[in-house]
Amino acid sequence: MSFYETDCQSFFQFLKTEKRYSPHTLTNYQRDLNRFIEFCKQNKITSWNKIDHQHIRSYVAQIHRKGLGGKSIQRSLSSIRSLFNFLLRNKIAEKNPALGVSAPKSSRKLPEVLTPDDLDNLMRLDEKNPLAVRDMAIMELLYGCGLRLAELIGLDTHKIEWQGKTLDVTGKGSKQRIIPFGEKAETALKKWMKQRNHFAKENEQAVFVSQRGTRISASSVQQRLKKWAQFKGLDRRCYPHLMRHSYASHILESSHDLRAVQELLGHANLSTTQIYTHLDFQHLAKIYDSAHPRAKVITKK
């Protein structure tokens, strides 16, 4: 094992145990850094201290040529900067060569959302099927509470406050937040909790469990959503974060309260939430174009 792998393993352990990053975030870090280490090996770089700004810029240019977008490159640079900060603190490296290197700019892609009709269709499931009851509750929390996938699968039974209708979830960076849930989510959850007793193993704390009785995996939730979307004839791919995007967009469209949506979503920065403002404006522009009498220029022949 080279020094690259040894030091990166220590870094990943730090992220897991001290920073308490989610498995999804750790996977992204590993993917980004494995790609960077391969670049270093190809260029026969034999120590962290021999990596300079020019190497980082060359790496950015290489992955950009291979089709990586600005957002993905920015995340990769963030992973490299975090690694070197760790190496600096542990006196393994003497500098952080990724500081000051920026990703190429790319147009910001607006998130996709489901229409209320699509959601209504998707969440009408067979209540006699226990797994359908579970999946119904999953979708109600993903959309009704705007949960991230990691927050959903990490939810434990004692984190549901039934009287106040709130969930205590652990978000990014192990940050706790309280999220309210409505009547539909409450109904779906209660139906599932009755069925859950037939599946969950003794002492299992997870709200959502698989047929094996243990905490459901992220891939299982993704596959189940995809299955139901295909079964219901939706003309688009359905995935957990699409439900969260839809929740955010619909809440903002109704309330126009950006700060409240930021709190509900658990965004550290308001700029992250502002993407839904652009989406809301896009929706209003479409309404204007289709309905306003002066939206179209009428030319006389």
Sheet holding 166-170, edge to edge: 160-161, 166-170, 176-180
- Residue 124 near residue 188, CB atoms below 8 Å: no
Just list the catalytic residues: 148, 172, 241, 244, 267, 276
Q: Which residues of 219-235 are buried (b: 16+ CB within 10 A; e: fewer)?
A: eebeebbeebbeeeebe
Q: How far is CA 92 from CA 16, 41, 56, 133, 162, in A?
A: 20, 18, 18, 52, 50
Tokens of 133: 């009851």
Q: What is the CB neighbour count within 10 angstroms for residue 262? A: 20
**Contacts with 240 (C-beta within 8 Å, 6 or more apart), sequence order:** 142, 148, 149, 152, 221, 222, 225
For the chain, give the number of residues.
Answer: 301
